[in-house]
A and B are shown apart, each in its own frame.
Chain A
């Protein structure tokens, strides 16, 4: 092996012009690759960071849908489809609690709504917003890098909305007014059951870590209000036992009796104080450990007065009412599966994302739960493809350049083989096997690509260093995401450098295949007689 290396190295030195031709092609190629991949990595990191830190967390759990599900809902060819709700929410949370690799999780509901304000100049004008229905405490803990510019973040149980600063400006421009903390705005939501309008108070304005056009028109809203806008029913998985006086309501002979003041007050007179707020709540003593799931995020629900049951869902729920014990009814309300659309997870170690996603999906399948877990890319939907599109365009360009380089390198190596026919023939005559000859040429090309590849990468890193030093500023939010910050600071992954080097070496070996094939076909006699 030492002799192969020695001959290869000396041949490269001996044939300087050819070595330089191949070397320069490789150095320039890998320099472009280093710069290009670094800028793409920068954009990818920017987009990834923007989504993980602003919207999706490390992992999103959602229901199953035929079309692509993302944090923006289900997008099909026909438009936006209803977002599936997470089934067996309680079991999923119990499972998440058992995993030590999960830092925090928070539930979420997503929707879109039109924004208008009473008294606006043009009554037909509307702003738009992407609504994230959130549980304030856990959400704030998870997305702690979001900055409140004005006002305050939502408090548990509080109704209200927070708008992004950029959407505030858009709405102000469109509606020709000024929005302030404390103002009321009208949200118009669209659901299967029709249009819902809710008036909410603006609690504040916030700034995302970095903003992506389109997604930056998002708002945080309390979950009950959002459920109301989407006409989602809500409840707990509690088994509800009604006592005789409460079931008496159901025995009313006519509607007048059913809705009379007496009947209503009688029925709830013996319930605890929460019963009035939540018609399905029960005294604690009636619950058992087995059939009670304490939703850690349900606190806000009990204070909500706008909860609704859509007709269909209400009918479905009523059909589940079945007798359980004498003088009581056991109402199994499994409608909590309709309460949340997503659970966002933040991991202790982001490098385990893929592993945890796989684990979760395996668990869902094993337990027969119609849910799915996905990383930020899946959760970001079409937005995550931005970097992929850029990377693909770059890769195609690199592929074209590599093809041209491949031809030039192949030709140069072929000339080298033809010039060294005598040497190859002599070696073969003396007993060199074909493997020896091919190893010699392969070692040469690997040495060239390795040395000039490293030179090219160093040049690329130098160029990136200069780019970093001259402080190229992002002109707008989109560029800011691509830059992964307000100033372009190219991201350099050593794994990418290693991959680039490996790719260039592979191209070199590929370019070497035909010349080696020709070299191996050289018969010793022809080499000697050609002298």
Chain B
């Protein structure tokens, strides 16, 4: 059963008097527990598709379904709630909150929802995530005291804080060296297996792309190829 379903999705941005067609009609399904890479060169529409799946952008045409729910037409509050409960984000530039330390950054999404979580359970879960990404000794450090790889580990742990079913990672290795990149993808894959969390990441790096099991290649806003590897 598809956790994400895109049907003839188009996205057009106005640019002065002209229009830029970032996505020209894309359809695909992503199954629960997938570890999928959306690959393609810059400007192919990778980030735009991820943004629409993550409900931080809306399609100009077509529909995006998350967990069988069409996202267009939802109110800002409903969209915010959906993002909080269902989607985790990992950004290219990590986007950690600079004034919070590692522990606080990972805990942060747990403090946003309208449901109150027992502080003890919250701490146990946050500590588990820190341990999972191997940053126990860095828990009290601020983001500016960490390396790029460590920051991205924090971002991965943070994306998992609310136990989302889907994690979106927009070029998570773009700012990392190749060795760290492989380690980060490896970590994501490990969590994918352990927690059955669906991971969708975009990349233009062919080496990283090959680490995914399900690959969708884009070119000029259209799918150029899609294939699966054996797990």
By a beta-carbon cutoff of 8 Å, the part of chain A in contact with chain B is 3, 6-7, 10-11, 13-14, 422-423, 425-434, 436, 523-525, 528-529, 531
**B71-108 interface code vs A (CB 8 A; 1 in, 0 out):** 00000110011011100010111010111100010001
Partner of B56, one of A6, A432, A433, A524: A524
A431 touches B81 (CB 8 A): yes
Residues of A within 8 A of B83 (CB): 429-431
How far apart sit A11 and B97, CA to CA, in the bound complex (Å)? 10
B91 touches A431 (CB 8 A): no
Instruction: Give 5 CB contacts A-B under 8 Å.
Output: A3-B104, A10-B100, A429-B54, A430-B158, A528-B51
A426 touches B95 (CB 8 A): yes
Residues of A within 8 A of B76 (CB): 434
Task: Report if B29 contacts A (CB, 8 A).
Answer: no
Residues of A within 8 A of B57 (CB): 523, 525
By a beta-carbon cutoff of 8 Å, the part of chain B in contact with chain A is 47, 51, 54, 56-57, 76-77, 80-81, 83-85, 89, 91-93, 95, 97-100, 104, 108-109, 111-113, 158, 162, 170
Residues of A within 8 A of B97 (CB): 7, 423, 426-427
Partner of A431, one of B92, B98, B109, B170: B109
How far apart sit A11 and B91, CA to CA, in the bound complex (Å)? 22
How far apart sit A528 and B57, CA to CA, in the bound complex (Å)? 11
Residues of A within 8 A of B85 (CB): 431
A430 touches B89 (CB 8 A): yes
Partner of B112, one of A13, A430, A523, A529: A430
Q: Which 3 pairs, one residue from A and one from B, show the smallest C-beta to C-beta distance?
A: A431-B84, A10-B99, A524-B56
Partner of A433, one of B54, B77, B95, B109: B77
Q: Which label, helix, strand, loop or mixed, suits the secondary structure of the A interface?
A: helix
B98 touches A529 (CB 8 A): no
How far apart sit A528 and B100, CA to CA, in the bound complex (Å)? 19
How far apart sit A153 and B89, CA to CA, in the bound complex (Å)? 90
B81 touches A429 (CB 8 A): no
Q: What would 18 more interface pairs be, CB under 8 Å, given A431-B109, A431-B113, A523-B56?
A: A7-B100, A10-B100, A11-B99, A14-B98, A14-B99, A426-B95, A429-B54, A429-B56, A429-B83, A430-B89, A431-B81, A523-B57, A525-B51, A525-B56, A528-B95, A528-B170, A529-B47, A531-B93
Residues of B within 8 A of A3 (CB): 104, 108, 111
How far apart sit A529 and B97, CA to CA, in the bound complex (Å)? 17
Residues of B within 8 A of A436 (CB): 112
Task: Name which residue of chain B comes closest to A8, CB basis.
Answer: B99
A426 touches B91 (CB 8 A): yes
How far apart sit A149 and B81, CA to CA, in the bound complex (Å)? 82
A528 touches B98 (CB 8 A): no
Residues of B within 8 A of A528 (CB): 51, 56, 91, 95, 170
A428 touches B51 (CB 8 A): no
Return B197 CB to nearest CB of chain A, in Å.
Answer: 16
Residues of A within 8 A of B77 (CB): 433
Return B86 CB to nearest CB of chain A, in Å.
Answer: 9
How far apart sit A427 and B57, CA to CA, in the bound complex (Å)? 15
Identify which of A427, A431, A525 gathers the most chain B CB atoms within 10 Å of its CB.
Answer: A431
